Amino acid sequence: MFHTLFRVVSSQDQRFLVLFDFDETIINESSDDAVVQALPSKQLPDGLKNSYRRAVEKIPPTPGLLNLLQYLQSHKQDYELVVVSDANMFFIETWLERAGVRKLFQKIFTNPASFDDTGRLVLFPFHSHSCSGCPDNMCKQVILREYLAKRQKERDGAPFQRVFYIGDGANDICPSLALGSRDTAFPRRDFPMHRLLLEMQQSRAAQFKANIVPWVSGEDIVKYLAGASTGLA
């Protein structure tokens, strides 16, 4: 969808971390639903893999998402990009490769997937955890905290100056709770993450530290980052 040359950037150059959900954040629908709808009712096993791939590749990006990625790529000296998703590795890598943006992402955290002898895609849980509010297979807050600690160590003790989390679903609330007062959560407007954050603000049942910037299009996030760029230090 857009192709460009990539320069190797030192991991210590990048001051800011941007985390993306995948379903209904990078792509404009659920990858699982799209594949189920696209697969014929009768399909030879050896053709399933190609059917999966074609279905995933046809999923449209969320409006303005590719413009956002192009903006981040043009400022790659500042931003490190990561995917954190409860989808699966086959779907995510297939779509990102087709879009020409796989190399933008330093890391993808998602459920492992492989094809069995019948050609069917088998999914495995990403990890186990003790968070009572998340699905058994994945707690995005655990992933975020572990990644931040790992990267700080690799960066000779230097933490990211700001963390930006872009999501849409209820399971994006938990990692957002780990954000600090200098960080920003971008919930997709009128999606579960946005509605739950509004409820939390109204009830004040939980103390949410990060800035909250709802978005409809990736362009909204570009405008926020570009406008705030002079103050991101």
Q: Does position 10 have pLDDT exceeding 70, yes or no?
A: no
Q: For residues 62 and 122, give the distance between their C-alpha atoms in angstroms, rounded to a whole number.
A: 26
Give the pLDDT score at 165.
98
Give the pLDDT score at 231.
62
Instruction: Work out the percent of the chain whose per-residue pLDDT is above 90.
Output: 66
Q: Does position 4 have pLDDT exceeding 50, yes or no?
A: no
Give the pLDDT score at 149.
97
Q: Does position 44 have pLDDT exceeding 50, yes or no?
A: no
In the set 23, 172, 183, 220, the catalytic residue is 23
User: Which residue positions form the known binding site for Mg(2+)?
Assistant: 21, 23, 168
In the set 13, 21, 117, 136, the catalytic residue is 21
User: Which residue positions form the known binding site?
Assistant: 21, 23, 32, 86, 168
Q: Does position 144 have pLDDT exceeding 60, yes or no?
A: yes
Q: For residues 183 and 16, give the distance between their C-alpha atoms in angstroms, rounded to a whole number.
A: 10
Q: What is the dihedral of CA 96, 102, 106, 108, to 10 degrees?
A: 30
- What value does the mean pLDDT take over residues 172-187? 96
Q: Which one, of 24, 27, 52, 20, lies nearest residue 38 by Cα?
A: 52
- Per-residue tokens: 32: 């699982």
**Average pLDDT value over all residues in the chain:** 87
- What value does the mean pLDDT take over residues 39-53? 60
Q: Does position 39 have pLDDT exceeding 80, yes or no?
A: no
Q: Does position 8 have pLDDT exceeding 50, yes or no?
A: no
CB contact at 8 A, 83 and 105: yes
Chain position carrying tokens 């009768």 = 42
Q: Does position 48 have pLDDT exceeding 80, yes or no?
A: no
Chain position carrying tokens 């004040």 = 204
* Residue 117 among the catalytic residues: no
- Per-residue tokens: 84: 């954190």
Beta bridge partners of 79: 16
Beta strands across the sheet bearing 105-111? 105-111, 79-88, 16-20, 162-167, 184-187, 211-212
Terminal CA-CA length for the chain: 32
Give the pLDDT score at 40.
46
User: Which residue positions form the known binding site for substrate?
Assistant: 32, 86
Give the pLDDT score at 233.
52
User: Binning pLDDT at 50, 70 and 90, where does residue 19 land?
Assistant: very high
Q: What would the pLDDT profile of 86-127 be if each residue is shown by its tens digit?
A: 999 999 999 999 999 999 999 999 999 888 777 778 888 899
Give the pLDDT score at 32.
73
- What value does the mean pLDDT take over residues 147-152? 97
- What value does the mean pLDDT take over residues 38-43? 45
111-117 contacts: CB < 8 A, separation 24 or more? 111/86, 111/87, 111/137, 111/138, 112/88, 113/88, 113/89, 114/90, 115/48, 115/49
CA distances from 180 to 93, 135, 161, 219 (A): 30, 24, 10, 24
* Residue 21 among the catalytic residues: yes
Q: Does position 166 have pLDDT exceeding 90, yes or no?
A: yes
Instruction: List, in order of start, the domains of the chain with CATH numbers.
Output: 16-28+61-110+129-231 (3.40.50.1000)
Give the pLDDT score at 67.
98
The residue count of the chain comes to 233
Beta bridge partners of 72: none
